[in-house]
Amino acid sequence: MDERSTELELVLDGIAQGGEAVGRHAGMVVFVAGGLPGERVRARLVAQQAGFGRARVLEILSVSPDRVAAREPDAAHIDWQHIAPVAQQRLRQTIVAEQLTKFCGTDPSLVGATVATAAPWHYRNTLRLHVAGRQVGYFRRGSRLLQPRRGDPLAQPLLNAVLERLADALSVAPADMTGDITLRLSETHQYAVAAWHGTDAARPALARWRAATPALAGIVMGAGDAIIGATDVIERLDPVVWALHPMTFTQPNRAVVRHLVALVHAGLQLRGGERVLDLYCGAGTFALPLASRGMRVTGIEEQHEAVHDARRSAGYSGIAGARFHVGRVEDGITSLTGRFDAVVLDPPRRGCHPRALAALGPLGARRLAYVSCHPGTLARDCRQLIDAGYRLCQVTPVESFPQTPHVEAVAILERD
């Protein structure tokens, strides 16, 4: 095709779970980045496979009332900044409902309104960036080309101040310096810790960065010792005191944790004293708050570092009702004995292992809370649970990452 033949005029009438608007042309589904349902656009086809294509907006011929001016038009990691906040929440609800209807045939009315976060900008307490030579930033979508950044409008202000000092330090770093860096903020105590994965030649430049940045409490080289200062982020989310290595995965929007824990607790109808199984428990995001409320919680997680942090946090918080096992969930669940009153599932984007879901039946749990960060794998796994005798009671989307299409959701399932 020549360049002109790749230009299409499309009416956009849907939204895909990846955040792109959906149109159709000559029997082909076209996913359009930068578009909105209800718009008519001129778009350029950038990729085509059997039955579908991907395109980018060239011109908006009919504008949706949900469109707003983009704050940083060239920032590819802020995919939904052109969508009004209320419309973002509505689209998240639509995406979750459509995936569950597609895989499970469930009534869309089971999916409630999206729980909105208070801060649409400057909410992230964790950033993962790339360093190439004397620049730090994010890779452009679909490439290894670096988009340099001295700040991120999604990050909290102190984290941006630390990032800006890093950009300054790199300006005199070795030209061949490469690697990845994670910045994590303690919102409670207002300091940051960094973790560096890359060439050891970066050590002098990183040490200069630490010395010039009072808010940077320490830098960890890979899994080793800190170059200087602290190695942990200490965070408080009453009544839990968290002690976290900077590379331990936790929810990067702290305000969302309160919503998720409350939804899980209410959905499981817990009153205290119940035996709860927390699968893919990570650093105890759900296990520790539930145990602090009187539940007896058993967590399983394959990342040793996360379990180490969960145990330390339990000790710092004086929580005795949680115990943790290291191992793959699909293996560890088969060694459990006795019955559980409820189960929390909080898997990564790939969802739950089928063997883990199949093993839930003999444990006797009447209610399950599935916390998902990917609507497609949530719907796929709910299909297996429904086939095993559970029924879907309610699903609540949660706006964890405003200005992006990512959505968390808490699904509650029950069986007699």
Instruction: Give the residue numbers marked as catalytic.
Output: 373
Enclosing H/E stretch for 20:
none
CB-based contact 156:187 (threshold 8 Å) = yes
User: Is residue 13 helix, strand or coil?
Assistant: strand
Residue 233 CB: number of other CB atoms within 10 A?
A: 26
Q: Do the strands 21-25 and 28-33 form a parallel or antiparallel pair, or are they unpaired?
A: antiparallel
Q: Do the strands 7-15 and 40-49 form a parallel or antiparallel pair, or are they unpaired?
A: antiparallel
Residues paired with residue 321 on neighbouring β-strands, in sequence order? none
Helix axes 203-211, 157-170, angle to 10 degrees: 130
User: Is residue 165 helix, strand or coil?
Assistant: helix
For residue 129, which of 109, 108, 152, 107 has the smallest C-alpha distance? 152
CB-based contact 83:66 (threshold 8 Å) = yes
Which regions of 187-330 does DSSP assign to beta strands (E)?
Answer: 191-198, 216-221, 226-229, 233-237, 240-244, 275-279, 296-301, 322-326
**Rounded Cα–Cα distance for residues 346 and 289 (Å):** 14
**Rounded Cα–Cα distance for residues 96 and 237 (Å):** 28
Q: Which 3-state string (H, E, C) describes 151-211?
A: CCCCECHHHHHHHHHHHHHHCCCCCCCEEEEEEEEECCCCEEEEEEEECHHHHHHHHHHHH
Q: How far apart are the first and last CA of the chain?
A: 58
Fill in the DSSP letter of residue 246.
T
Question: Which alpha helices (DSSP H) does 171-299 contain, by range?
Answer: 203-211, 254-267, 287-292
Residue 209's φ and ψ, nearest 5 degrees, are -60, -45
